[in-house]
Amino acid sequence: MFFSTSGRKLAFISTLLGLSVVGNATPAVGPTELVAVPQSDSQRNSATLFWLPPGDTDYQFNKTARANTSCSGVGSSFTINPINDGNDGSVWRKQLVSLNTSFTVQFNAYFGSRGGSDGMTFALQRDVAGTSLAAGGGQNLGIGGATPVLAVEFDTYNNGTTVNDIAQDHLAIFEINQSRSKDINKPVAGPVQAYANGAKITDGKYHPVKIVWTKGTQTLQVYFDGATTPHLTYTENNLVNNLFAGNPMVYWGFTASSGTLYGEEHSICNLTFTLDSDDDGYLDTVDLDDDNDGIADVIEASNVDATGDADNDGIVNYQDSDFGPLNAYSVVASLDLDGDGLINQLDLDADNDGITDALEASGGQTPAALAASQNYQRTGTEAGRLTNSVDTQGRPQNSASTASPVLDTDNDGKPDFLDTNADGDAFLDWSEGFDDNSNGKSQDDYQTRAAAFSGVATYYPWTNLNSQGLPAWLQDANNNRYPDFLDVTSSYYHDTDKDGLVDLMDPTNGGNDYAAVSNIPDANKNNLTDYRDAAAATPLPVELVSFDVRVSGKQARLSWITASEHNSAYFAIETSRDGLTFATTGQVAAQGTSSTQYAYQYLDPLFTSHEGATVYYRLRQVDKDETTTYSPIRALATQAKASTTAVQAYPSPFATSLTVIVQAEQTELAVLRLVNTTGHQLLQRTITLEPGTNTFSLPEAARWPAGLYLLEVQQGAHREQRRIVHE
């Protein structure tokens, strides 16, 4: 048991009121005869995911912990602390695991041979120390003072009833969260004897242990010494929220310690960690459909074995650079289409278009043999999975697509669930697949979805819109034709439960999934969902790749490029002297509907008539139905004006730092201010001017929202103002 600083154990483990502790199984009668390093076929097969060779760098060893090279067979092996008295250590996996995924941990544990102290733990934790956590020797079992923690203890020393210990070697489950402590000495499950006859586990043998986390029921089970029924079972509803403050990502590993008397060695051999990604009761190693989307893993992996080990080097194929180039998440890029770190067979939305693979494999319709009210388990635990009813190989029993070819609407060789443009038209699926109100556009529908989002409030705000009326998360900062909220390289990309489906489309994270708003988007009512219907185009406004304004002789040259257009009539060129009031100065015919890039150009012959002023330009794009959208604003100053101006600011428009130049005739103080169009002051600074040219850099301007600003420099009673534009 864990434990007081004055006694042999530090009493700090919390018990929680109202938690469900399922009964403890009857322990084994006595210790079984165990080999030191068992290598059964079942153990070997269970290690095809997430095991690494001894001494690998994916674990962090703390204090006395070190690699254990004496073990043979598959799996990771290490010694947490050696036989010396009064020491402790810890081993933590550097890669976080999500409690939103079921998993099984199996290992052989060695508790020593001297009948001594103190014991070890298997723990899940989010302590501030992270993988450096090594929290105390002796009775602390290496985890004293850590929080929050869910730990399984294997205790080989009786520290008395004050800490809920029992005389026999025993197992127990603890929660550690100082902010929730009620009875800090009491476990949430157990203690239960390791053996019914009281035999010790410090017997010089390795003991097989299996720990199972089941996401669907929020249950932790502990099997000891080959028992077929668990020694311990603990269930807590909303454990992730209650214990880990809503964050499912935790570190996992082992801690151990010995007291100053009767020290023992604590070692682990043949550690394997295997996921059950779809929570169907079949580990991914034997499950033919790891994410229960109705598409066989081999199809999602393009007919290769992603979780095998082709070159027998101990590294699974999807993490092996010998199998293919790795992406930023150290995953073989060809097996992770959208680059989010989840291979396709574990990703509920492999092409990251917001439409789950389960639906794309079924033509955008609710899969056959599923009741409409279920809608691929929307009423269950997670959108995108078909059902909890599977066959003996983990395949959804109501899915024909497991055995049938998946859809490839445009016959381009890429199945729809791996094709960002399933119908091969001018518009990507993320755009035309979400016209929930069938008005031919999707911008307003995304606004509705954002307003209905009940997850983290800061993820999808409809604020700080650009000139096209788009918030930052719906813009395309890197011009890859994917909005930032679907772009894994963007800070606006959010997938809280790490299942491959962004929060905005994931009901488990506060979103609404595809078709949840209006059933199946079908603008032309031909019973073919829009993203598969080339005749139904649902764009955002014209995709403007670039817009540039430069001086060309005595004229201004406007150049812009569109990536695609739909029913576009013309572009009106508008100018302004103040950046607020615009007037049309010219017009250029548009391409109508186009799926390829097209370059436009316009020369403004009236540019010289603006001598002495900064000219602001924008494009007004007009559709054939008279719908209009606007481009960003561009500014151009005449050379004459620049040479006689006492105050200048450049570049304008600016994207990062802004530079201000002030001409002065004498040494004096001045005040530099900057306000937005609503009059809100963003900056005020007192500056010292020297005779001649004074230059000031404003790097903080890069953080301001895009838009028009007024820069003012006040020298005594004299004020000069300039309008500037932030892109």
**Amino acid occupying residue 717:** A
Over range 98-111, report the average pLDDT: 88
Q: How far is CA 557 from CA 222, 412, 604, in A?
A: 73, 40, 6
The set of residues, in sequence order, having a beta carbon less than 8 Å from that of 554 and lying 6+ positions away, is 607, 608
pLDDT digits (tens, 9 = 90+) for 662-714: 888 888 888 898 888 777 888 888 898 888 889 998 888 888 888 888 888 98
Q: Is the dihedral of CA 137, 196, 43, 498 positive or negative?
A: negative
The set of residues, in sequence order, having a beta carbon less than 8 Å from that of 520 and lying 6+ positions away, is 364, 365, 529
What percentage of the chain reaches a pLDDT higher than 70?
74
**Separation of CA 467 from chain center:** 29
Over range 162-173, report the average pLDDT: 82
**158 pLDDT tier (thresholds 50, 70, 90):** confident
pLDDT digits (tens, 9 = 90+) for 238-263: 888 889 988 888 999 999 988 766 67
Residue 554 near residue 608 (C-beta atoms within 8 A): yes
Q: Is the peptide bond before 651 cis (omega within 30 degrees of 0)?
A: yes
Residue 620 has pLDDT above 90, yes or no: no
Residue 582 has pLDDT above 50, yes or no: yes
State the pLDDT at residue 564: 76
Out of 280-284, 382-386, 590-594, the most confident range is: 590-594
pTM, two decimals, is: 0.51
* pLDDT mean across residues, the chain: 76
Q: How far is CA 425 from CA 422, 532, 537, 591, in A?
A: 8, 9, 8, 16
Over range 275-297, report the average pLDDT: 64
Which three-class secondary structure state does DSSP give residue 201? coil
- Which domains are present in the chain? 59-276 (2.60.120.200), 288-335 (no CATH), 348-372+399-537 (no CATH), 544-637 (2.60.40.2060), 646-726 (2.60.40.10)
Residue 21 has pLDDT above 70, yes or no: no
Residue 150 has pLDDT above 70, yes or no: yes
Over range 116-142, report the average pLDDT: 83
Residue 560 near residue 547 (C-beta atoms within 8 A): yes
**26 pLDDT tier (thresholds 50, 70, 90):** very low
Helix boundaries (H) for 282-440: 297-300, 357-360, 429-432
Residue 404 near residue 396 (C-beta atoms within 8 A): no
Return d(Cα 698, Cα 690) in angstroms, integer.
19
Return d(Cα 102, Cα 512) in angstroms, integer.
24
Which three-class secondary structure state does DSSP give residue 452? helix
